[in-house]
């Protein structure tokens, strides 16, 4: 389970997409949310969009690995699909904020690698948020303030990446994923025992 977190506008979604394209061994966890779809967002791909009542029913049935309320909207990670992917031997990528990460760390610490993506500068962050232009100006202002709050939690992550050049950042994330796969390889103890018995 690989977590990517960052303030909005740091380029995390693009990095996540590039990682999924480059590595067939990992797939995205699609979050459930009660917020309205933005233009171009596809239900079931970007998020599973539900209304707030449906979200709270799912939550009360224990269907979330973690959930949180962010900017007046609910976000949650559905448990069943994550478990199916992991037991099929593939990794799961999470695009979640620090609250979601903190919740996951409580329930799945040993299976988790967490990466925080920082923008190269405050100016660059503001430009990216403004260029995106899908949100009204007051949302951009709120997101800039939110970025400051989100960034406070950088030190709770295993790795921190500065997204100045998307290719470099992608290479770093792929290296982290590969190194952690080596570290967590299953069956190593049995392999060594078998090797030792033949020496």
- Residues near a copy of itself (CB under 8 A) are 118-119, 121-123, 125, 144-145, 147-148, 151-152, 154, 158-162, 171-172, 174-176, 178-180, 182-183, 185, 188, 191-192, 195-196, 198-199
| Beta carbon of residue 119, minimum distance to a copy of itself (angstroms, whole number) | 7
72 phi-psi bin (left φ>0, alpha ψ -120 to 50, beta other): left
Distance from the first to the final alpha carbon of the chain: 36
| Beta carbon of residue 13, minimum distance to a copy of itself (angstroms, whole number) | 20
Residue nearer to a copy of itself on the CB measure, 45 or 196:
196
Residue nearer to a copy of itself on the CB measure, 40 or 187:
187
- What is the 8-class DSSP label of residue 39? T
Residue nearer to a copy of itself on the CB measure, 80 or 199:
199
Residue nearer to a copy of itself on the CB measure, 42 or 195:
195
Residue nearer to a copy of itself on the CB measure, 32 or 173:
173
Residue 95 contacts residue 116 (beta carbons within 8 Å):
no
| Beta carbon of residue 110, minimum distance to a copy of itself (angstroms, whole number) | 16
Q: DSSP letters along 140-168, please?
A: HHHHHHHHHHHHTTGGGSSEEEE-SSHHH
- What is the 8-class DSSP label of residue 194? H
d(CA 170, CA 26): 14
Residue 125 contacts residue 144 (beta carbons within 8 Å):
yes
d(CA 147, CA 129): 11
Place of tokens 């033949």: 198
| Beta carbon of residue 147, minimum distance to a copy of itself (angstroms, whole number) | 6
| Beta carbon of residue 84, minimum distance to a copy of itself (angstroms, whole number) | 27
Residue nearer to a copy of itself on the CB measure, 58 or 115:
115
d(CA 2, CA 108): 11
| Beta carbon of residue 144, minimum distance to a copy of itself (angstroms, whole number) | 6
């Amino acid at each position: 389970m690989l977590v990517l977190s960052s303030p909005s506008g740091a380029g995390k979604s693009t990095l996540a997409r590039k990682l999924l394209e480059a590595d067939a061994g990992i797939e995205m966890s699609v979050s459930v949310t009660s917020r309205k779809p933005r233009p171009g967002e596809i239900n079931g791909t970007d998020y599973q969009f539900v209304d707030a009542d449906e979200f709270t029913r799912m939550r009360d049935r224990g269907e979330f690995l973690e959930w949180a309320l962010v900017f007046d909207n609910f976000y949650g990670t559905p448990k069943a699909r994550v478990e199916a992917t992991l037991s099929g031997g593939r990794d799961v990528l999470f695009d979640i904020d620090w609250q979601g990460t903190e919740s996951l760390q409580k329930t799945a610490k040993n299976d988790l690698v967490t990466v925080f993506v920082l923008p190269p500068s405050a100016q660059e962050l503001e430009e990216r948020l403004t260029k995106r232009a899908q949100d009204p100006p007051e949302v951009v202002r709120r997101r800039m303030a939110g970025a400051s709050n989100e960034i406070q939690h950088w030190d709770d992550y295993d790795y921190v990446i500065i997204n100045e050049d998307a290719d470099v950042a992608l290479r770093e994330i792929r290296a982290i994923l590969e190194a952690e796969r080596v570290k967590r390889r299953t069956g190593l103890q049995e392999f060594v025992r078998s090797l030792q018995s033949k020496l």
